[in-house]
């Protein structure tokens, strides 16, 4: 099963729409509720990251019998030092993002904590790809 969602950078009203759709799809497939919760929290944090930092992005969801794979591809500034970005408390978020209740440097560690597998590839000036895999 394959789904795709377009994400618009800076659009905080719609941030979370794709993750909400993911949640509904997983529910309809009767995926275990604890796995759904971990999946959508990781997906939502990653979706908010695109809205907060990138110009636009695409989220793809692929589900098979064993796993749930979510890939978030964005066109944006990229991450210079991924290890540093993963540190809790480290943030490059704008004041606007902070006033939205995000940008306290907890997002990536939240994703890591919830994902069974997490891969991040980034090119400065181009964009970032975040791949989240969950085992069913």
For another protein, the binding residues (CB under 8 A) are: 12-16, 19-20, 23, 37, 40-41, 44-45, 48, 89, 95, 98-102, 104, 106-107, 110, 113
Residue nearer to another protein on the CB measure, 18 or 133? 18
Residue nearer to another protein on the CB measure, 14 or 119? 14
What kind and span of H or E run contains 8?
A: strand 2-8
CB of 126 to another protein, least distance (A): 26
CB of 5 to another protein, least distance (A): 14
Q: Quick check: helix, strand or coil at residue 113?
A: helix
Residue nearer to another protein on the CB measure, 94 or 126? 94
Please state, in angstroms and rounded to a whole number, the distance separating the CA atoms of residues 2 and 38. Answer: 20
Please state, in angstroms and rounded to a whole number, the distance separating the CA atoms of residues 1 and 4. Answer: 11
**Do the beta carbons of residue 73 and residue 58 sit within 8 Å?**
yes
Residue nearer to another protein on the CB measure, 23 or 66? 23
CB of 67 to another protein, least distance (A): 20
User: For residue 112, is it left (φ>0), alpha (ψ between -120 and 50) or beta?
Assistant: alpha
């Amino acid at each position: 099963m394959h789904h795709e969602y377009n994400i618009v950078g800076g659009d905080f009203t719609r941030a979370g729409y794709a993750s909400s759709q993911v949640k509904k799809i997983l529910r309809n497939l009767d995926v275990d509720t604890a796995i759904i919760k971990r999946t959508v929290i990781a997906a939502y944090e990653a979706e908010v990251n695109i809205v907060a930092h990138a110009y636009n992005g695409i989220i793809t969801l692929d589900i098979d019998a064993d796993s749930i794979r979510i890939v978030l591809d964005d066109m944006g500034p990229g991450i210079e030092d991924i290890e540093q970005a993963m540190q809790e408390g480290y943030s490059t978020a704008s004041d606007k993002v902070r006033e939205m209740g995000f940008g306290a440097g907890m997002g990536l560690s939240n994703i890591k904590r919830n994902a069974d597998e997490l891969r991040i590839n980034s090119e400065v000036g181009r964009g970032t790809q975040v791949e989240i895999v969950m085992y069913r």
